[in-house]
Amino acid sequence: MLEMEPVIETHELTKRFGRLAAVDHINLSILKEEIFGFLGPNGAGKTTALRMLTTLSEPSEGTATVGGYDIVTQAEQVRRIIGLVAEKLILYPRLSAVENLMFFGELYGLGRRELKDRVESLLMMVRLEQFKDMPVGGYSSGMRQRVNIIRGLLHDPDILFMDEPTALLDPQSIRFVRDLIKELNQDGKTIVLTTHIMEEADELSQRVGIIDHGKIIAVDTPAGLKSKLGCETLEEVFLELTGRALRDSASNHVPMRRVMGRI
């Protein structure tokens, strides 16, 4: 059950690159222990928003707090309570899973004994304990993503940001990662993820923020969005709100389903 306490709040949060507003005055309140999904096409501003919320990029305008800390003036405090699973794998291919995780864990300042126990526990959680001493360069993409996810959990953060966590994975790995996200949320983690896959947003997110051209155009539960607009799928919701289909780059085509009577 969701706690109604906001853990992330933004006020007119904006990021410009020259004249382009990649994120355009967004106002959001993300609740403690919810899975919140940023849903939108590639280039909509999802990753830019996450980069600001994780202190990797400073806003051009507006403010945001994460866990009660300002993302600019209290960036160090923010970093202590968040984990980040970037779309780009942050792993050294010649090192084993254990060596990678020990290296990153030491950057967090964790003691070696505590860190060793934490690494062993996390590898068991993602069922990689028997492969822990193999170089990760020899892993499948799904196995590497499992290590990438638990890298963001080494310091046991309260809030986990995940940027396109199932991008380019095979169906079996997608299922594993989605189930893992649900499990982490059930354990009390607040999870903020970006996705352009509507099925994923529908399945995982307790609430969805639909973002297009840097603007948040709707925020609600997936069921609420579909009910308000009389749609059966989030694909139809996006089409109704924007007048265009959302490209699903996982299948590399524009979905052909249309809302009857709306085109």
Ordered by start, the domain boundaries in the chain are: 6-242
C-alpha dist (Å) from residue 258 to 38, 198, 255, 262: 22, 15, 8, 8
Under 8 Å between Cβ of 223 and 204: no
What sign has the CA pseudo-torsion 187, 250, 37, 61?
A: positive
Confidence of residue 3 (pLDDT cuts 50, 70, 90): low
Q: Is the pLDDT of residue 62 over 80?
A: yes
What percent of the chain is modeled with pLDDT above 70? 92
Cα 16 from chain centroid (whole Å): 21
Tokens of 193: 């993820």
The pLDDT assigned to 247 comes to 55
Q: Of residues 261 and 78, which shows the higher confidence score?
A: 78
Under 8 Å between Cβ of 41 and 247: yes
Confidence of residue 1 (pLDDT cuts 50, 70, 90): low
Angle ∠(125,82,225) on CA atoms, nearest 5: 90
Question: Model-level pTM?
Answer: 0.89
The rounded distance, in Å, linking the Cα atoms of 18 and 40 is: 22
The rounded distance, in Å, linking the Cα atoms of 212 and 67 is: 26
The pLDDT assigned to 89 comes to 85
3-state secondary structure of 27: strand
The pLDDT assigned to 253 comes to 34
The pLDDT assigned to 259 comes to 28
Instruction: Please give the span between the terminal C-alpha atoms of the chain, in angstroms, as a whole number.
Output: 39
Q: Which class would CATH give 6-242?
A: alpha beta
